[in-house]
Chain A
């Protein structure tokens, strides 16, 4: 039988990028918090610079809960399932995927909050794709700005501001929305190659700038600056210069005495009482089933698991899953169309052996609504990113740009010459939500506990394919200007399991089309909050983590301030 534990104030399900942030304002307000984390604590000793393990064997995800419940994708509701991914892209662990992510820590642009209004105003309502379910956010960037500022300083984000209080600084992103103050640390250093790309962008009349990263460019909160050793990409930091929640917000919450971290806890259900309020959380640990009663729950697992846990948590009052009487759980699913990158070959060695994915240069001219879309057949765009990061197996697995076979002596001669002459780019693109793109439970594929895994039904639509083609054109132009002798466009692919998954529990004022209200709490369940990119109604064209973290801080702060109402 289940072991019933003593009641606590708040249960946070998942101590990753979002839940790991929320615990700091909760505990600072004196609330007692139980953090349920499926993974374990990891330490710098675990973060060996080992490309084979980190990048090819999916360590440490491969041995984890997430990997036993990898979602299954199909491109549309009549297509067969796609081949299942071998490794879940996210990881369990205290700190979650902030342990091994790229740590790019962007704010969304003002446009992302008002896609519908701004598109109508500038181009007419007909420019919004007919089958898109996009809505404006319930608030604008100005509402979230103080929380972006809060988490940039709480975690430690390095970067160059481009707009402080409306004053544009061309060293930063001239397209960004106004911020109250600059970043707490200067940007990470460039490299000679990255700087040469920035020069090329300027020759094109563009405005390149160093991107923001939750990586220390200097000593911060007594943690080391970055050592640029080259294994940040899907690896943890051996000197704790990557500001995961495991080294920043979570330890401070623990120090308050109000946070109890429970590791290796596999949450299976969220319980609801007769008054349609959450009463606690069930989890498995060490072969036992526990019930953790609480006054409020913040659901902070990954996008796929947020939807799955709600759909699994059925009851008399919520027969289709918790907070899903509106049938909106799982809807408005988006990604970043990350696949359609561009590769380039240069005539000289560029030395990308060291560095990190966050050590690079961005161009934002072609993102969001930063350019006039009157004469193009899409809305939105993409952020262009070139960086210093490439380890040896990846280097040797290079494209041969049609200039050599894929193996044998001629291949060997080619890679000996070119392994350090090729460059990749990272193009993050707007993805709109569509009625046809959604998450639900798979009818037959189950995890080891017998619960169905999440199913993704999703594919890129015309608007997104046009963005990809347009942005790849721009990236090729940039590489050519920088001296590339060859470029190659990578395929768009489909919307499979990804690190940038949005939606499923969208935030909005209308309870008929949104699961979560403007503060992050379920319209149908007042003491259930949801954290993570699953609440975002637009994808933006840049990494989601900082936005998920700003929203998490805001929702946690709202819970603490409104405790007597929400937890009553």
Chain B
């Protein structure tokens, strides 16, 4: 199993991601995957990281899906809640690499951000070949899961350090909300909590497990 990141490690990673700045996808993905993966191979992980880094990029406005841990979220979920998509990811990631080589002459992970975007546009618009049943289906799958991994509860391995919630200005979990906090100009302080940090929902192991609160 993937170990749970300590808060310190998460902060360190977020800081690194921020420092990398405008071209983190390439820089990180070219070397080796940032994560150790449980359900994907290292090569698949590297490709997935490169994709999510373009879907929601890290840029001047702040960190993106890679820094949120969306790839890690997907990898973990492929072992349980998203297990039925495991084969689709294996095939789709391989097809993305193969198409990148055909269309752009290089592995996807080694392309510039612009070239990666143009490959992904082909995948999105269903003109990329070599996908089963087709490339658009794979694109929608990854895009949906990238949103889950960026904006979902950090309990599942994504939305690391709440970067997704900060990105859209979500003020976080509250068990009780006042009328004032529902005013249109209200900007409640962000709570920075996972649901399972709250004692009434914490897992029986004290909240340190990776299980999903069923």
Q: A: which residues have CB within 8 A of B?
A: 44-45, 47-53, 56-57, 59-60, 63, 189, 191-193, 196, 227-230, 238-239, 348-351, 353-355, 388, 391-393, 395-397, 406-409, 411-413, 415-416, 419-420
Are A57 and B176 within 8 A (Cβ)?
no
Determine if B210 is an interface residue (Cβ-Cβ < 8 Å): no
Establish whether residues A53 and B147, one from each chain, have CB atoms under 8 Å apart when the complex forms: no
**Tally of A-B residue pairs with Cβ under 8 A?**
136
- Which residues of B have CB within 8 Å of A412? 56-57, 59, 61, 64, 167
Q: Which of B59, B143, B151, B184 contacts A349 (CB 8 A)?
A: B184
Chain B, Cβ-Cβ closest to A44: B200
Of the residues B117, B124, B150, B177, contact of A355 by C-beta under 8 Å: B177
Give the distance in Å from the alpha carbon of A230 to the alpha carbon of B172 in the complex: 10
Q: Can you report 16 residue pairs joining A to B where beta carbons are below 8 Å apart?
A: A49-B198, A53-B153, A56-B152, A59-B214, A60-B214, A191-B183, A193-B184, A238-B200, A349-B184, A351-B182, A351-B185, A354-B181, A397-B147, A407-B54, A412-B59, A412-B167
Closest 10 CB pairs of A and B: A52-B152, A419-B168, A48-B201, A48-B195, A227-B176, A354-B177, A228-B177, A191-B182, A392-B170, A392-B151
Are B196 and A396 in contact (CB-based, < 8 A)?
no
A544 → chain B closest CB, angstroms: 28
List 7 additional contacts besides A50-B155, A407-B120; criterion CB under 8 Å: A192-B183, A196-B184, A229-B176, A391-B170, A412-B56, A416-B61, A416-B169
Instruction: State in angstroms the CA–CA spacing of A337 and B174 once bound together.
Output: 34
Chain B residue at minimal CB-CB distance from A398: B168
Known: A228-B176, A354-B174, A412-B61. A420 touches B169 (CB 8 A): yes
Q: Which residues of A contact B195 (CB under 8 A)?
A: 48-50
B127 to chain A, nearest CB (A): 16
Taking the closest CB of chain B, its distance from the CB of A288, in whole angstroms, is: 25
B15 sits at the interface (CB 8 A): no
Q: Which residues of B contact A (CB under 8 A)?
A: 54-57, 59, 61, 64, 81, 117, 120, 124, 143-144, 147-148, 150-153, 155-156, 164-165, 167-171, 173-177, 179, 181-186, 195-196, 198, 200-201, 212-214
Q: Which of B150, B164, B200 has the most chain A CB atoms closer than 10 A to its own CB? A: B200
* Contact B177 A416, beta carbon cutoff 8 Å: no
The CA-CA distance from A392 to B191 in the complex, in Å, is 14
Shortest distance in angstroms between B14's beta carbon and chain A's nearest beta carbon? 17
Contact of A409 among B57, B151, B155, B179 (CB under 8 A): B57
B27 CB to nearest chain A CB (Å)? 17
For A392, the chain B residues whose CB sits under 8 A away are: 151-152, 164-165, 168, 170
Q: Which residues of B contact A51 (CB under 8 A)?
A: 152-153
B192: min CB distance to chain A, Å:
13
CA distance A152 to B57 in the complex (A): 51
Whole-angstrom distance between the Cβ of A194 and the nearest chain B Cβ: 9
Closest chain A residue to B170 by CB distance? A392
Query: How far in angstroms is the closest Cβ of chain B from A253?
Result: 27
- Considering the complex, give the chain B residue whose CB is closest to the CB of A354: B177
The interface residues of chain A lying within 8 Å CB-to-CB of B196 are: 48, 50
Give the nearest-CB partner of B73 in chain A. Answer: A52
CB B74 to nearest CB in A, in angstroms, measures 12
B168–A409 touching, CB < 8 Å: no
